[in-house]
Amino acid sequence: MKTVGCVPYINARPLVHLLDKPASPVRVQYEIPSVLAAQLREGAVDAALVSSWMALTEPGWRAACGVGIVSDGPVESVRVFAKRPLDEIESIALDRASLTSNHLALLLLKELHGRSPVAEPMQPDIDSMLDVHDACVLIGDQGMEASSEGLHVLDLGAAWKDLTGLPFVWALWIGGSRLDGELSFWLSALAKAGGFVECPTCPHIELAANIIGDVNQMVGDRRAQQREEIIAHAAAESGWDVERVRKYLGGSILFHVGERELEGLALYGKLLAESGVSNAVHMPEMIEAVVPRHLSPIDPASSPSAG
């Protein structure tokens, strides 16, 4: 059985919910991002849902095709808060929990506002961060819930879209050689079966759903029922109102990674290198889904595309 690592955050729930079913052929373990990164480097997991920064700046990684954590406009949960106008800030506190968001914030401040502030990683508390710095980066619950009263705010998803016109990829399933076509299949097919991932051509969702044992909940129009189950589960875990979860997971966060998303990922890496934020950028090898042989006799002509 393959083992994957996942962050214990609400924005990952649509990608991992069906992998967590008792009959799933993939075991999921939850850790904070820094621990997941260490486990991935040590080979303790076969793949992990980790930041696009790690996928771009460390050579040799593979990524599962078709799915990830994406925004295509305002993301709500990743923001810069500043005491002074953004084109005047001289120092910024970075969220210790983040890599992708911190580097994106520095990149956008330079590209859009001509600023290269002195940066210091800190614990994510807006009051203590702004006590000693002009601005701060907050992500996740803190990024969504922090008060913006009297502050200048930059939504990093919106700013990236304004700068490039492209979606931003926040996280991908990445791994080494053990992230093969079959694991890519489970990571993409079960995410699509959950109802949150665009699925223009997914002939093998029903096969994946059959293995889990809840096929009537996962295919055709009933994917909407599975979507509601995920929303309810995420609301119970987070304490958020159900409608807030539905709006966030159904609009602010997207989960499909196709050509435009990969174009945005490549551009992020290019701009990081050009700006001097990172010296080396490596696009991960994208691993196409391969249907496990034991699922069903498959006509080779119908072999799936993970895009």
Q: Does the pLDDT of residue 195 top 60, yes or no?
A: yes
- Which class does domain 2-71+167-302 fall in? alpha beta
The pLDDT, as a whole number, for residue 301 is 40
Average confidence (pLDDT) over 280-293: 88
The CB density around residue 137, as the number of other CB atoms within 10 Å, is: 30
Query: Fold match between 2-71+167-302 and 78-164?
Result: yes
Which CATH superfamily, name and number, covers 78-164? Answer: Periplasmic binding protein-like II (3.40.190.10)
Closest of 241, 217, 174 to residue 17, by C-alpha: 217
The pLDDT, as a whole number, for residue 210 is 60
Query: CA torsion sign, 207 to 230 to 170 to 22?
Result: negative
SS (H, E, C) the chain: CEEEEECCCHHHHHHHCHHHCCCCCEEEEECCHHHHHHHHHHCCCCEEEEEHHHHHHCCCCEEEEEEEEEECCCCCCEEEEECCCHHHCCEEEEECCCCHHHHHHHHHHHHHHCCCCEEEEECCCHHHHHHHCCEEEEEHHHHHHCCCCCCEEEEHHHHHHHHHCCCEEEEEEEECCCCCHHHHHHHHHHHHHCCCCCCCCCCCHHHHHHHHCCHHHHCHHHHHHHHHHHHHHHHHHHCCCHHHHHHHHHHHCEEEECHHHHHHHHHHHHHHHHHCCCCCCCCCEEECCCCCCCCCCCCHHHCCCCC
The more confidently predicted of residues 42 and 99 is 42
The CB density around residue 211, as the number of other CB atoms within 10 Å, is: 18
**3-35 exposure pattern, b = at least 16 Cβ within 10 A, e = fewer:** bbbbbebbbbbbbbbbbbeeebbbebeebebee
The pLDDT tens digits for 230-246 are 999 999 988 889 999 99
Average confidence (pLDDT) over 54-59: 91
> Cα(133)–Cα(138) distance, rounded to whole angstroms?
13
Average confidence (pLDDT) over 156-163: 97
Is residue 305 very low, low, confident or very high in pLDDT (cuts 50, 70, 90)?
very low
The pLDDT tens digits for 198-214 are 664 555 666 666 666 55
The pLDDT, as a whole number, for residue 192 is 83
Q: Does the pLDDT of residue 140 top 90, yes or no?
A: no
Is residue 143 very low, low, confident or very high in pLDDT (cuts 50, 70, 90)?
confident
Q: Does the pLDDT of residue 179 top 70, yes or no?
A: yes
Is residue 261 very low, low, confident or very high in pLDDT (cuts 50, 70, 90)?
very high
Strands 47-51 and 26-30 turn out to be: unpaired
Is residue 248 very low, low, confident or very high in pLDDT (cuts 50, 70, 90)?
very high
Q: Where are the domains of the chain?
A: 2-71+167-302, 78-164
Give the range among 62-71, 272-281, 293-302 with minimum mean pLDDT: 293-302
Average confidence (pLDDT) over 21-38: 89
Q: Average model confidence (pLDDT) for the chain?
A: 87
pTM over 0.85: yes
